[in-house]
Chain A
Amino acid sequence: MSEPFPSPTLPFVSRTEVLLGYLAYFRSVLLEKLDGLPEAELRGSRLPSGWSPIELLRHLTYVERRWLVWGFEGEAVPDPWGDERDGRWYVAPGETLEALVAELATQAERTRAVALAHELDEVGRPGERWDGAPPATLERVLLHLVQEYARHVGHLDVVRELVDGSVGE
């Protein structure tokens, strides 16, 4: 069951909820596009750049964690770049889709809690995430996540179409 598309005419109680609405929508599309992929497609690549759909799922979980937990909240995160190995996205053969989906769901709850605990113009805590730059506002971080999801889910749209011809939002 997908989340509703946060159409511009759909009422939301706050700008934070609009941005969270987009994230919830993109996560649900991500899971729909992954659903039913054969193992070989889930862990293989259709494109010369070599990324696999299951790696994309883990990448997006880590992207949320890096920006909101490690970055904005300034918390210590074990292995913040754990979605990569040797400069590439990585998922070990024994790791299941179910486990990675559950990890995304847990992170999604955390993302929502962080977003709702701060004002959009609040600035994040200092830390390594910012690479020496001044910490960003919550608004900038959430917008970054929205564009990151939109672009990656678009990549997955293409891959899914290549696998079995299924298209659509």
Chain B
Amino acid sequence: MPPRRADVFVDPADDPRNDGPSPAGERATLLDYLTFQRQTLELKCAGLDAAALARRSVEPSTMSLLGLVRHLADVERTWFRQRLAGEGGVRRFSSPDEPDGDFDGALPEQLLVDEAWAAWREEVAFADAWVASAPDLVRERIDGRVGQ
């Protein structure tokens, strides 16, 4: 007999994700959703060792949790750093020669796990900082006003 839905969800008291009141405004709302999704990724990976994180649990798919962390690190990087901030650069975990490198290269090694989380956290921090500073940059481009 499959489990009841309530039994497969984390106990609300143990759920680290924000369930507070909805923020006001479009920017805060979008950031709230993005933060929730990021925390969900961390929640789904919590407590697993390198072997479990790299396990292809739904073969034949090459998808693994570690592959997802690597993939999402590059998604954050592509959209925020490369496209929105215009910094250029290349993806960390895939390339034109290895377009699925983010998933294919997700091997059960602690060094790779540490590297993936470090990359993801760096890109998330960049994204948050960029989003927070975007109105300042926009205003400065309009009339040079800075500060506050």
Contacts and interface: CB of A to CB of B under 8 A. Distances in A.
Given A136-B22, A139-B29, A143-B33, A88 B60 contact: no
Contacts of B4: 86-88
Nearest to A150: B37
A51 B22 CA distance: 30
Given A48-B2, A50-B3, A161 B58 contact: yes
A48 B1 CA distance: 9
Interface residues of B, number: 19
Interface residues of A, number: 24
B46 interface: no
Contacts of B22: 136-137, 140
Interface string B50-63: 00000000101101
Interface of A: 15, 45, 48-51, 84, 86-89, 120, 133, 136-137, 139-140, 143, 147, 158, 161-162, 165, 167
List 6 tightest A-B contacts by C-beta distance, closest first.
A50-B2, A87-B4, A158-B58, A161-B61, A143-B33, A140-B22
Given A139-B26, A147-B37, A161-B58, 18 more contacts: A45-B2, A48-B2, A49-B2, A49-B3, A50-B1, A87-B4, A87-B6, A88-B4, A88-B5, A140-B29, A143-B29, A143-B30, A143-B33, A158-B63, A161-B61, A162-B58, A162-B61, A165-B60
